[in-house]
Structure 1
């Protein structure tokens, strides 16, 4: 009973690996060291030591959890700036004390929220400014210089170190899905299941701060749905459902010949192979026909290859989105439904062995549904 109660205080194990812990620790150490050395050089050791405390907490956020909303560039710079101004204002009206310092932290927190720069170490900045002693208070508003120097130097180290170690920072907002058809319909993969509106409503109902960006939360949910679907569908791979008798063209194939091949085989796309049988492009029906809006008859005839023999290498799309024969069908669905692709070439050791079309995926999903219902 006691052990069960005590274990409830323990957080779950971290999802990161020891290699990431070491990477973050090294970055945090270097960031604090460089920031402190620069501040000491410009403002002296006493000021540096009195303001270095918040850097430790900021470094953990910027290097260990760089994707979190509390670790973004504006969060650290805005919070340091806001907390310093609040603390200096409090000193102007009240004498430095634990009570006034505590009030400065509370006011700083309230201001950080609408300014969208919530950053916990900002509270430590307010305390350091108010309780740092005469050396900090005598600087007055000039104290903003060492405070912001620390913030900007640590931020610069995080920007450089995180990206050099292949950790994207800052966290960019996920762009909306490309509207291929220029309509108001949501993307096909977002028309069922959890929608963005559902997520917004859930966050509003919680009414509390969630230490993860909305974009990351949506990605986590989408990934969870995909993994659940992968588990329920078994091991259906591209190699099992692909078409193997692939009709191909070469870069020197004319548009007229390509159109004839598409019509004869009832296809929408043609993989384009070079002399060494390497995939160099793909030509779709829309590539061949084009969209010559406002063009005259001569332009249309030229597009069709009737005015002169244009070659596929002039209109084919390259590079080509390809998959491996072991790619699970769940990975194929968003490529074929959300990116406007009609088929996906399947490669093994760089060689084209087949193509997966939308029809192939629909047939596989239909068979899987029948097996589950049976």
Structure 2
């Protein structure tokens, strides 16, 4: 009896709102295709009609728009390829052998073109079982009605999913350059792809969404471990700062006197204007294009001329768990912390290391 659980539903319960969203989208998409077909028939275009596998395509593009099998390339190219292959098989292979060969060859062709789309198998089967109309239209059947109606359904799905808050087409790592590197967990595109291949999930999940799932899981774990800890709890508050009009020479003396690695640049209102790192001063005061025996005095430059822009600022009440990847993934050496527009502290890699090592001995014993 313990094996009966394998027969239980594998999908989690859908929320009522999600059921309504998907059902309404399919209704709109198929209805628009019906309208186009009826309009074309009144205009004397007999080659445009609906095919049953379009309903299966509607299930994918409206219910699981994040699946690689539901993406525009898979849907349009997959259905068109399946129809073309089935037509060629029907032309060359006698019945009843043409039916199985058409479906098998269509699946192979779709996989070769990286356009695997389950309704494509139904397109091939329908074409092989009822070849009279497709053969009458010829190879054009693959494009009208199959390709045209599939493309129309995909266009409706793109507009409807985005209007209802779903991402379709799904994100591609190669083009999604606006996302924070922290969401990638430091994993390359190839490494994410290897994870999907290892667990045979390449046809079920995109690499970008896998990266987001892994990052969300790590963030949840970090927040659970450091729950209640905010940036204000670990930041360095005794800051040595500079003002924009301070000379570079004065800033260099501050670095030597206090053995600091970064120098926030603020105005009288404690508003952060930028950061100066040791490497910035080294590049400024280094003697260039002169022999060592003929040093020259560093130019009288101001801190405002060499500082880095004030970026990646965090709020004092940001949970530490949300910050852990930033220093490593972005290569940041220091993260400014603000409260109500004023600089109140900075967080360095050393601060993060102290937090991670806090209680490490107790955890090892446990």
Which of the five TM-score ranges fits, normalised by the shorter chain?
A: 0.7 to 0.9
Match of residue 298, structure 2, among 281, 292, 306: 306
1:282 aligns with 2:280: no
Contact 1:280 1:320 in 2 (8 A): no
Deviation at 1:123, TM superposition (A): 1.5
Contact 1:287 1:315 in 2 (8 A): yes
Contact 1:255 1:309 in 2 (8 A): yes
1:224 aligns with 2:217: yes
Q: Once structures 1 and 2 are overlaid, which stretch shifts more, 122-131 or 78-87? A: 122-131
Structure 1 residue matching 2:123: 3-state secondary structure: helix
Match of residue 104, structure 2, among 86, 103, 106: 106
TM-score normalised over the length of structure 2: 0.77
1:174 aligns with 2:173: yes
Deviation at 1:82, TM superposition (A): 1.1
Change (3 A) 1:170 1:265: farther
> 1:212 corresponds to which residue?
205
- 1:1-374 paired onto structure 2 within 5 Å: 5=4, 8-14=7-13, 18-42=16-40, 48-51=48-51, 53-94=52-93, 100-131=98-129, 134-146=132-144, 147-174=146-173, 200=194, 203-204=197-198, 211-217=204-210, 219-274=212-267, 276-290=269-283, 296=289, 306-312=298-304, 314-318=305-309, 320-373=311-364
Cα RMSD (Å):
4.0
CA distance in 2 between partners of 1:158 and 1:293 (Å):
59
Q: Once structures 1 and 2 are overlaid, which stretch shifts more, 67-76 or 16-25? A: 16-25
Structure 2 residue matching 1:138: 3-state secondary structure: helix
CA distance in 2 between partners of 1:280 and 1:161 (Å):
43
CA distance in 2 between partners of 1:25 and 1:265 (Å):
65
- Structure 2 unaligned blocks of 5 or more: 178-184
- Structure 1 unaligned blocks of 5 or more: 179-188, 299-303
CA distance in 1 between partners of 2:245 and 2:283 (Å):
19
TM-score normalised over the length of structure 1: 0.75
Structure 1 residue matching 2:347: 3-state secondary structure: strand
